């Protein structure tokens, strides 16, 4: 039998709609869904691989337990039995020796986003780690300080801007991040077709830079200087036009930025003063300019401060919270900033807690991953849960972290593969494949360049003996919380979560007068698991039907089910001041912690750049560490190479194809060299997520294309001191032939 199914792709932040042809229980063709309200048929090479992933023989279908050093299949009952027996001792709140690491796919999955929290609560630990501190945490922290909530993140209104300045992002390859927009290539082309201007700041001439009118190959880690100089230049030339409500505060900020001018930053950034001035003028001349920065500006020692200055420049341009500028999406379900009365703000106060060994900052409730290995080594952490993460490949000082995991007393992983990290787990709990799960992008609808809602039911049924992922997580929470790790335990956890949401719905200031508890409860009767929670959230969201007490045309899960191609909720709209939860009721542009960091930025002006600096490179057919076991993505020439500028190669008598040793103060790896002028001299680049050569894994194809783990070279010792985020770019390195 042949059917067509529609499903949002969960692999990256672009949220493309897919059309899957299913024949006798197998996906036989995958295309972009031409009718998807947001992606209109766009997809990238990864989008066609969900069927391949589903059929990957190495994908785990049954729990594994490590017995006598080897992973063997066990039943769910046995798996939870082992966890109940062996984890309990580590759950002592006095010693707080249990930890959890949450990886990137948590944010891409409905089940994990909702029930991952339950695992943390059940663990009762403050030792929460995630991929955020090798990624976007500085941006979130800056948002927390400026606007009161870390989820209040501005996104570029790419479809309406007429001048886009993009720093440290390569959306033509990554498909965008903290800016959910399927088809970046098409949207950039549309910008140019309507006569818009596009500038890219990146040490590498990426595909995105190639599409730009202006490419400024900046020295790594120095965006903070460039942004500061853009701000002072706009004011010095009288080209600024901030919202009058913020003018005075911004004056103070620009006063503090006085040491940073196009002339003073030119040498250290590697960008001529004349080019900085021209860029400021070009942005100021535009009607709807917009500045957007991403991971190249966050995984540096100045990530939080740079993120702040992005917003300062947008505010000076009059672009913050304005159409065509940097705007704040409205999520149809569950974003904390939907409640303008949020009593938690300003929740963010820096420096309240620090890690035990190195005293790194613990912000937004998370410990920096840079501290994980040393905390395990010190005996402060003796047991771990990892959820959808591969920190051995994705976090700095990878070799040391690998060894630290090996020294844990007990480890549980919720993961689809036996990989570099989960090989250390005593128990692995495998989720169903993505096609066997329903989907709704709870996180990315809050970061989207249009307001949209799109729900997809599961495409394929569960196999016998498989559990839905939410239930795996709920059972794990039940066991860790001292309940039975069976269906009844999971149901108890699920009911508790539903009750919490129902409580929030009933107390919401947005709730219509007519709403009663009975209406809420009867509306979701018969639903359990994530769909009940999602229905509750959507119906009480900004577009919700409020369970019959609000707009009868409003959103509900049922209405979303009737729209397999999604529902477009319109262009972004200004949200100040309702979205702000700050003492002043306006953005805190002059937040003392941010202003104080400028003395450290001034020091950067004095520092000499390292002779050779390592940066990261994403490749189109990859997704962090975990899609390298799909032949369709890894075939062809090797992607895990070290790129180097011809001048640097000549200087070292190195040439393309040669094996080289890349080393830093932290570690060294061997990798094949690729000489190219697509990088500025003094900078080398390598992709992360490779190094599939560890014993005890089950990744046959990935092992044939092992590559090397760049994070053996990146240091855990260097972080952004405000957010604790690891420095993954601008790492001083040395390269020699082997
Ligand atoms: N194909 C593919 N897509 C992905 C992923 C993947 O692994 N592969 N990963 C996903 C994830 S988890 C994320 S977070 C997003 C990230 O999405 P993006 O933020 O777009 O990330 P990158 O593609 O790594 O682009 C970062 C750019 O910053 C540049 N850069 C490095 N250092 C500096 C610096 O100091 N200053 C400036 N200005 N630029 C610098 C790099 O050369 C690179 O081109 O991508 C997502 N999409
Ligand atoms: N040097 C350097 N390092 C980097 C980066 C960089 O630019 N440079 N980028 C950083 C960034 S942005 C990120 S986000 C991190 C990523 O860091 P991680 O999240 O730790 O790494 P991933 O490779 O995304 O690993 C995802 C894991 O989840 C599993 N998985 C996939 N889908 C599911 C699912 O639906 N359910 C469950 N339970 N498991 C699933 C996979 O098998 C894999 O083990 O890497 C970071 N590391
Ligand atoms: S761009 Fe992202 S969401 Fe779209 S098909 Fe590719 S991986 Fe999937
Ligand atoms: Mo990421």
Question: What are residue 291's DSSP bridge partners?
Answer: 165
| 256: CATH | 3.40.228.10
Is residue 715 in contact with ligand 2, taking CB distance under 6 Å?
Answer: no
Question: Could you tell me the distance, in angstroms and rounded to a whole number, from the CA of residue 458 to the centre of ligand 4?
Answer: 25
Question: Could you tell me the distance, in angstroms and rounded to a whole number, from the CA of residue 235 to the centre of ligand 2?
Answer: 41
Whether 115 maps to a domain, the answer reads no
Pair 588, 696 in one domain: no
Whether 418 maps to a domain, the answer reads no
Is residue 167 in contact with ligand 1, taking CB distance under 6 Å?
Answer: yes
Q: What is the pLDDT of residue 340?
A: 55
Residue of minimum CA distance from atom 6 in ligand 3: 44
Residue 37: how many other CB atoms lie within 10 Å: 17
Ligand with minimal distance to 40 CA: 3
Pair 590, 650 in one domain: no
What DSSP state is assigned to residue 94? T
Is residue 17 in contact with ligand 3, taking CB distance under 6 Å?
Answer: no
Question: Could you tell me the distance, in angstroms and rounded to a whole number, from the CA of residue 618 to the centre of ligand 1?
Answer: 6
Whether 527 maps to a domain, the answer reads no
Distances (CA, A) of 724 to 132, 141, 718: 10, 10, 9
Residue 737: how many other CB atoms lie within 10 Å: 12
Alpha-carbon 49 to chain mean position: 21
> CA–CA separation, 570 vs 449, rounded Å?
10
Q: Specify the range with the lowest mean pLDDT, choosing from 82-91, 187-196, 479-488, 690-699.
A: 82-91
Pair 143, 280 in one domain: yes
Whether 181 maps to a domain, the answer reads yes
Ligand with minimal distance to 106 CA: 2
89 confidence band (pLDDT: 50, 70, 90): confident
Alpha-carbon 708 to chain mean position: 23
Q: What is the pLDDT of residue 345?
A: 52
Contacts of residue 410, defined as CB under 8 A and 6 or more positions apart, other chains included, come to 86, 87, 90, 382, 383, 384, 426
Query: From the alpha carbon of 43, which atom of ligand 3 is closest?
Result: 5
Question: Could you tell me the distance, in angstroms and rounded to a whole number, from the CA of residue 314 to the centre of ligand 3?
Answer: 29
Contacts of residue 469, defined as CB under 8 A and 6 or more positions apart, other chains included, come to 109, 111, 112, 115, 414, 431, 432, 437
Question: Model confidence over 618-660: pLDDT tens digits?
Answer: 999 999 999 999 999 999 999 999 999 999 999 999 999 999 9
Is residue 176 in contact with ligand 3, taking CB distance under 6 Å?
Answer: no
Q: What is the pLDDT of residue 343?
A: 47
Question: Could you tell me the distance, in angstroms and rounded to a whole number, from the CA of residue 32 to the centre of ligand 3?
Answer: 9
Is residue 467 in contact with ligand 3, taking CB distance under 6 Å?
Answer: no
Pair 665, 596 in one domain: no
What percentage of the chain has pLDDT greater than the value 70? 99
> CA–CA separation, 45 vs 48, rounded Å?
6
Ligand with minimal distance to 176 CA: 1
What is the mean predicted confidence (pLDDT) over 103-120? 97
Task: Please choose, from the candidates 597, 559, 557, 486, the residue with its C-alpha nearest in 3D space to the C-alpha of residue 225.
Answer: 597
Ligand with minimal distance to 105 CA: 2
Q: Which two tokens stand for residue 493?
A: 């956890």
Q: What is the pLDDT of residue 342?
A: 52
Task: Please choose, from the candidates 426, 395, 424, 453, the residue with its C-alpha nearest in 3D space to the C-alpha of residue 691.
Answer: 395
> CA–CA separation, 261 vs 258, rounded Å?
7
Phi-psi region of 495 (alpha: psi -120 to 50; beta: other; left: phi over 0): alpha
Q: What is the pLDDT of residue 61?
A: 97
Is residue 618 in contact with ligand 1, taking CB distance under 6 Å?
Answer: yes
> CA–CA separation, 616 vs 174, rounded Å?
12
Q: Specify the range with the lowest mean pLDDT, choosing from 81-90, 246-255, 376-385, 429-438.
A: 81-90
Q: What is the pLDDT of residue 402?
A: 98
Pair 589, 626 in one domain: no
Pair 593, 633 in one domain: no
Question: Could you tell me the distance, in angstroms and rounded to a whole number, from the CA of residue 299 to the centre of ligand 1?
Answer: 10
Is residue 727 in contact with ligand 2, taking CB distance under 6 Å?
Answer: no
Domain count for the chain? 2
| Total length of the chain | 738
Residue 665: how many other CB atoms lie within 10 Å: 12
Question: Model confidence over 139-185: pLDDT tens digits?
Answer: 999 999 999 999 999 999 999 999 999 999 999 999 999 999 999 99
> CA–CA separation, 242 vs 319, rounded Å?
8
Question: Could you tell me the distance, in angstroms and rounded to a whole number, from the CA of residue 232 to the centre of ligand 4?
Answer: 31
Residue 512: how many other CB atoms lie within 10 Å: 13
Question: Could you tell me the distance, in angstroms and rounded to a whole number, from the CA of residue 402 to the centre of ligand 1?
Answer: 24
Question: Model confidence over 430-455: pLDDT tens digits?
Answer: 999 999 999 999 999 999 999 999 99
Pair 587, 714 in one domain: no
Is residue 172 in contact with ligand 3, taking CB distance under 6 Å?
Answer: no
Question: Could you tell me the distance, in angstroms and rounded to a whole number, from the CA of residue 420 to the centre of ligand 2?
Answer: 12
* Top mutation candidate among 114, 416, 420, 669 for ligand 2, by most atoms within 8 Å of CB: 416
Whether 674 maps to a domain, the answer reads yes
Arithmetic mean of pLDDT over the chain = 96
Instruction: Encode 361-374 in three state secondary structure.
Output: ECECCECCHHHHHH
Contacts of residue 43, defined as CB under 8 A and 6 or more positions apart, other chains included, come to 9, 16, 18, 30, 31, 32
Q: What is the pLDDT of residue 341?
A: 54
* Top mutation candidate among 170, 613, 625 for ligand 2, by most atoms within 8 Å of CB: 625
* Top mutation candidate among 107, 155, 177, 640 for ligand 1, by most atoms within 8 Å of CB: 177
What DSSP state is assigned to residue 609? P
Question: Could you tell me the distance, in angstroms and rounded to a whole number, from the CA of residue 626 to the centre of ligand 2?
Answer: 7
Range of the domain at 247: 137-341+582-602
Query: 545, 573, 602 — which closes off a domain?
Result: 602
Whether 273 maps to a domain, the answer reads yes
Query: 602, 630, 645 — which closes off a domain?
Result: 602
What percentage of the chain has pLDDT greater than the value 90? 95
Pair 156, 299 in one domain: yes
Is residue 181 in contact with ligand 3, taking CB distance under 6 Å?
Answer: no
Whether 102 maps to a domain, the answer reads no
Is residue 220 in contact with ligand 1, taking CB distance under 6 Å?
Answer: yes
Is residue 10 in contact with ligand 2, taking CB distance under 6 Å?
Answer: no
Q: What is the pLDDT of residue 348?
A: 80
Question: Model confidence over 39-60: pLDDT tens digits?
Answer: 999 999 999 999 999 999 999 9
* Top mutation candidate among 229, 296, 616, 687 for ligand 1, by most atoms within 8 Å of CB: 296
| 680: CATH | 2.40.40.20
Query: 550, 570, 602 — which closes off a domain?
Result: 602
Question: Could you tell me the distance, in angstroms and rounded to a whole number, from the CA of residue 249 to the centre of ligand 1?
Answer: 32
Residue of minimum CA distance from atom 29 in ligand 2: 388
> CA–CA separation, 89 vs 338, rounded Å?
40
Pair 168, 292 in one domain: yes
Task: Please choose, from the candidates 291, 397, 313, the residue with its C-alpha nearest in 3D space to the C-alpha of residue 719.
Answer: 397
Pair 689, 730 in one domain: yes
Helices 223-236 and 598-606, axial angle in degrees (round to 10): 110
Residue 489: how many other CB atoms lie within 10 Å: 21
Pair 221, 198 in one domain: yes
Is residue 16 in contact with ligand 3, taking CB distance under 6 Å?
Answer: yes
Q: Is the pLDDT of residue 91 over 90?
A: no
Place of tokens 């063997």: 72
Pair 597, 634 in one domain: no
Contacts of residue 247, defined as CB under 8 A and 6 or more positions apart, other chains included, come to none
What secondary structure does DSSP assign to 654-718, as a single string? --TT-EEEEE-SS-EEEEEEEE-SSB-TTEEEE-SS-----TT---HHHHHT----GGGTS-SS-
Whether 649 maps to a domain, the answer reads yes
Question: Model confidence over 330-373: pLDDT tens digits?
Answer: 999 967 887 655 544 556 889 899 999 999 999 999 999 999 99
Q: Is the pLDDT of residue 92 over 90?
A: no
């Amino acid at each position: 039998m042949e059917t067509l199914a529609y499903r949002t792709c969960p692999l990256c932040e672009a949220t493309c709609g897919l059309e899957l042809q299913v024949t006798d229980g197998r996906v036989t063709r995958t295309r972009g869904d031409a009718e998807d309200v947001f992606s209109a048929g766009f997809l990238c090479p990864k989008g066609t691989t969900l069927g391949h992933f589903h059929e990957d023989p190495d994908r785990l279908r049954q729990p594994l337990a490590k017995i006598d050093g080897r992973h063997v299949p066990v039943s769910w009952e046995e798996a939870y039995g082992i966890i109940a027996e062996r984890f309990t001792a580590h759950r002592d709140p006095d010693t707080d020796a249990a930890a959890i690491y949450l990886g990137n796919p948590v944010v891409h999955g409905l089940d994990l986003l909702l029930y991952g929290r339950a695992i943390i609560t059940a663990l009762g630990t403050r030792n929460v780690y995630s991929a955020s501190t090798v990624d976007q945490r500085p941006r979130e922290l800056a948002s927390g300080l400026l606007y009161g909530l870390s989820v209040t993140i501005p996104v570029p209104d790419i479809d309406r801007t007429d001048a886009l300045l993009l720093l440290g992002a390569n959306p033509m390859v990554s498909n965008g991040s903290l800016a959910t927009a399927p088809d970046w290539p098409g949207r950039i082309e549309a910008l140019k077709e309507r006569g818009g201007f596009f500038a890219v700041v990146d040490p590498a001439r990426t595909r995105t830079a190639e599409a730009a009118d202006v490419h400024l190959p900046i020295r790594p880690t120095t965006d903070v200087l460039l942004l500061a100089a853009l701000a002072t230049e706009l004011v010095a030339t009288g080209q600024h036009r901030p919202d009058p409500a913020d003018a005075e505060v911004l004056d103070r900020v620009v006063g503090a930025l006085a040491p940073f001018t196009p002339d003073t930053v030119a040498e250290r950034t590697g960008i001529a003063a004349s080019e900085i001035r021209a860029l400021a003028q070009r942005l100021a001349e535009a009607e709807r300019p917009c500045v957007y920065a991403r991971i190249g500006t966050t995984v540096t020692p100045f990530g939080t401060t740079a993120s702040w200055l992005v917003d300062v420049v947008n505010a000076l341009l009059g672009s913050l919270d304005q159409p065509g500028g940097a705007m704040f999406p409205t999520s149809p379900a569950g974003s904390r900033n939907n409640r303008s009365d949020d009593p938690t703000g300003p929740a963010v106060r820096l420096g309240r807690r620090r890690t035990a060994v190195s005293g790194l900052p613990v912000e937004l409730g998370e410990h920096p991953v840079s501290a994980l290995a040393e905390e395990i080594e010190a005996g402060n952490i003796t047991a771990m849960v990892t959820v959808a993460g591969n920190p051995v490949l994705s976090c700095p000082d990878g070799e040391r972290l690998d060894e630290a995991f090996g020294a844990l007393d007990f480890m549980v992983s919720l993961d689809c593969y036996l990989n570099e990290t989960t090989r250390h787990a005593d128990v692995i709990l495998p989720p169903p494949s993505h096609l066997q799960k329903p989907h709704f992008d709870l996180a990315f609808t809050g970061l989207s360049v249009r307001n949209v809602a799109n729900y997809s039911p599961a495409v394929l049924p569960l196999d016998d003996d498989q559990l839905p992922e939410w239930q795996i997580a709920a059972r794990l929470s039940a066991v860790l919380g001292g309940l039975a790790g069976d269906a009844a335990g999971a149901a108890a956890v699920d009911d508790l979560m539903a009750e919490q949401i129902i409580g929030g719905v009933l107390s919401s200031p947005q709730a219509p007068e007519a709403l009663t508890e009975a209406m809420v409860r009867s509306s979701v009767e018969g639903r359990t698991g994530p769909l009940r929670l999602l229905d509750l959230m959507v119906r009480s969201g900004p577009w919700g039907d409020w369970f019959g007490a609000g707009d009868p045309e409003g959103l509900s899960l049922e209405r979303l089910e009737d729209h397999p191609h999604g529902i477009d909720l319109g262009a972004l709209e200004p949200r100040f001041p309702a979205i702000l939860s700050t003492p002043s009721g306006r953005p805190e542009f002059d937040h003392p912690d941010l202003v104080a960091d400028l003395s450290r930025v001034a020091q950067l002006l004095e520092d000499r750049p390292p002779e050779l600096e390592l940066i990261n490179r994403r490749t189109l057919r990859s997704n962090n560490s975990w899609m390298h076991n799909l032949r369709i993505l890894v075939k062809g020439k090797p992607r895990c190479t070290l790129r180097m500028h011809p001048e640097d190669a000549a200087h070292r008598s190195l040439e393309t194809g040669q094996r080289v040793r890349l080393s830093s103060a932290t570690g060294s790896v061997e990798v094949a060299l690729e000489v190219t002028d697509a990088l500025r001299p003094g900078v080398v680049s390598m992709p992360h997520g490779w190094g599939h050569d560890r014993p005890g894994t089950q990744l046959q194809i990935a092992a044939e294309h092992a590559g090397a783990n760049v994070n053996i070279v990146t240091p855990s010792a260097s972080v952004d001191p405000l957010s604790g985020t690891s420095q993954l770019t601008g790492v001083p390195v040395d390269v020699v032939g082997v």
